[in-house]
Homo-oligomer: A and B are copies of this chain.
């Protein structure tokens, strides 16, 4: 499922009053099906999972699965408690998810043994393939590469590493070289280092960059073409990669995938200045292209 794959991470659309907009959700997923992505990932950081109630989570999973049809849906089920992470994972399994995505939990005193135990417990209770997300930028948890290797080795349902520890290219290369059981490595961080990660041996992307067709083209291309595509879209990746999810949601809105770009408080929705700069960068990078259509990459 994850070989040479592009799994866009989807935002959670809200209406102006911050209520979940399932209609937009279904439309956005439908558009992803049309882009022929490898699958979709929902309820990650970009999905504002940490600002949702459990009831909303369930509605969103159901909506996404129905709209996705046969397209694999990966569901983020990270939680600060092991038992609750298991519950969320089982719910995802019961509803029909294709896989779960899980980060290490943060504890006051870091402990690699406890990170391993957390994943063991989840893998022992839920049969779904696990995307192991290593993203210290959001979790605050720094893992040794030895621990990542051990988790892949000991837990056979770990089916993919989402590698987002920086510097990411050498880490991708080290994982590729040292993994006994080779699982696909997808990278994230909005594809900011995507050109270098592919050169280092990454298999593809699982990230929130709002133009997955660009990432698909990079994955399908040879090294020279992939580099050229990367360079073309890099200014957009850099711009999108500013902190927060507001810019990405606004691009999803401009692409006609969601109705509102509302971000849930306490995080801010896009400010007028960033919106104006977005006009500029889209104009300079994409020219007259219709955002609502699949971009022509060449």
Chain A residues within CB distance 8 Å of chain B: 18, 48, 50-55, 79-84, 87-88, 105, 107-112, 114-115, 117-118, 121, 136, 142, 144, 165-167, 169-170, 173-174, 192-193, 195-196, 199-200, 227, 230-231, 234-235, 238-239, 242-244, 264-267, 271, 273-274, 277, 280-281, 284
> CB within 8 A of A266: which of B18, B117, B271, B284?
B117
Q: List 23 A-B contacts (CB under 8 A).
A: A18-B83, A48-B81, A50-B81, A51-B79, A51-B82, A51-B84, A53-B88, A54-B55, A82-B266, A83-B265, A107-B267, A111-B144, A112-B144, A118-B265, A167-B244, A169-B242, A169-B274, A170-B277, A192-B238, A193-B242, A227-B284, A230-B235, A231-B231
Asked whether A107 lies within 8 Å of B266 as measured between CB atoms, the reply is yes
A contact patch SS: helix
Closest CB in chain B relative to A158 CB, distance in Å: 18
Asked whether A173 lies within 8 Å of B273 as measured between CB atoms, the reply is yes
Asked whether B166 lies within 8 Å of A264 as measured between CB atoms, the reply is no
Asked whether A166 lies within 8 Å of B231 as measured between CB atoms, the reply is no
A62 to B3, CA, bound (A): 48
Closest CB in chain B relative to A198 CB, distance in Å: 11
Asked whether A242 lies within 8 Å of B81 as measured between CB atoms, the reply is no
Asked whether B121 lies within 8 Å of A265 as measured between CB atoms, the reply is yes
Q: Which residues in B have their C-beta under 8 angstroms from that of A114?
A: 265-266
Q: Which residues in B have their C-beta under 8 angstroms from that of A18?
A: 83
> CB within 8 A of A238: which of B81, B117, B234?
B234
**Also in contact, A170 and B87, with CB within 8 A (given A231-B235, A264-B81):** no
Asked whether B169 lies within 8 Å of A83 as measured between CB atoms, the reply is no
| Listed residue (A81, A142, A244) with the most chain B CB atoms within 10 angstroms of its CB | A81
| Listed residue (A50, A192, A196, A199) with the most chain B CB atoms within 10 angstroms of its CB | A196
Q: Which residue of B lies closest to A272 (CB)?
A: B170
Closest CB in chain B relative to A143 CB, distance in Å: 10
| Listed residue (A79, A173, A231, A265) with the most chain B CB atoms within 10 angstroms of its CB | A265
Q: Which residues in B have their C-beta under 8 angstroms from that of A238?
A: 192-193, 196, 234, 238
Asked whether A118 lies within 8 Å of B266 as measured between CB atoms, the reply is yes
Asked whether A54 lies within 8 Å of B54 as measured between CB atoms, the reply is yes
Q: Which residues in B have their C-beta under 8 angstroms from that of A121?
A: 265
A84 to B84, CA, bound (A): 17
A192 to B235, CA, bound (A): 9
Other than A169-B277, A234-B238, give 20 A-B pairs with Cβ distance below 8 A.
A50-B81, A51-B83, A52-B81, A53-B84, A53-B88, A109-B165, A111-B266, A118-B265, A118-B266, A167-B244, A170-B273, A174-B273, A193-B238, A196-B277, A199-B277, A199-B280, A227-B284, A231-B231, A231-B234, A234-B234
Q: Which residues in B have their C-beta under 8 angstroms from that of A192?
A: 238
Asked whether B53 lies within 8 Å of A117 as measured between CB atoms, the reply is no
